[in-house]
Structure formats: structure tokens, C-alpha cells
Amino acid sequence: MALMETLFGKKKKEFRATCPITKEPLEKGFGYLLTTSQVVASKKYWDLVMTEPETMSYTVSHFHNQSSGTQMRSMIFQKYASITKPWIVSDSVIGYFDVDKNAARENARKWWEQEGNFVPAEEHGLDPATFQAWKNYAVLEAGRDKVRAA
């Protein structure tokens, strides 16, 4: 039976990760682990998200006082703000976030060791007023400079 398992046994699939922001694959042991609260609390992140090619039309509509654009931006915010698992992000975007990079790197190391099952303790989360302020920025203000320049 051991011979049969050796010949036909399933090989354990190698654990892999992809940055959810850049979509680039991450080498094992690399990247930074962030909580959703850390992602939500980033002006640069929201400016990026709301001006990507897939979302720019909603941003233009929003700044031209079309409620449909504002509604879509609100849905985009909710989509990202409701993610419950940690974010493993690449070196190319860690600068978008105001976080302790050493701690985020250490959390990523633990995440890799546990094959994605490590969840950092969320120290504070965002209090309701802070969350609302970031939501207001993301939905109402993010990308304004790009629309003016266009």
C-alpha cells in the first residue's frame, strides 16, 4: 500500500500568496501582513483604489454630482472595509500605509509559517468615528486631484 501511495499519492500543494492590491505573486517569506483597519486608514490606498481604470468612471461621475458614482464608490469602500482576513501585501505598496513595517514583516513571517492561518491581534481596530472619517474620505474625496487634472 505504501508503494501505491508513493506512486499515486497526492503531492501537497505548495502554499502561495498574491498581493491583493498589485496582484503580483509573493515569494514565500516575503511581504507585509496588515489588518483591514490598517488598510482602511490609508489615504494613499483610497486614492489608488478610486482612480484605478476599473473605478475611475465612478470617481468622475461622483465629482460631477452623479449619485450613481457616489453609490458605487460607497459599495467599493464596503467591499474592502468588510474583509475579515489579513492582507499580505507586497514591498511595492507597503509605503501606502502608515504602519510599523518591522511588525508587519514579522506578522508576515508568522503568516507564512502557518500557511495563511495566522491572524494578528488587532490592537485597537478603528473606533466608529475614525471609521466614518475614513469612509467619508474614501467615498467623498479620494481621487479628487486626478479628476481635476483630467
Position 61 in a domain? yes
- The amino acid sitting at 88 is I
Report whether 59 contacts 69 (CB < 8 A): yes
Supply 32's cell numbers. Answer: 507585509
Angle in degrees, 0-180, between the axes of helices 56-63 and 67-81, rounded to the nearest 10:
130
Position 56 in a domain? yes
Per-residue pLDDT, 12: 65
Position 12 in a domain? no
Per-residue pLDDT, 5: 56
Q: Is the pLDDT of residue 114 over 90?
A: yes
Per-residue pLDDT, 15: 87
DSSP string, 4-16: HHHHHPPPPPPP-
pLDDT tens digits, one per residue of 55-111: 999 999 999 999 999 999 999 999 999 999 999 999 999 999 999 999 999 999 999
Tell me which of 150 and 83 has the higher pLDDT: 83
Per-residue pLDDT, 79: 97
The tally of domains found in the chain comes to 1
pLDDT tier at 135 (50, 70, 90 boundaries)? very high
pTM of the model: 0.86
Position 5 in a domain? no
Distances (CA, A) of 85 to 74, 94, 121: 21, 17, 12
Domain range enclosing 117: 17-149
Strands (E), the chain: 17-18, 25-26, 32-34, 87-89
Segment 7-16 mean pLDDT: 71
Position 1 in a domain? no
Position 33 in a domain? yes
Position 7 in a domain? no
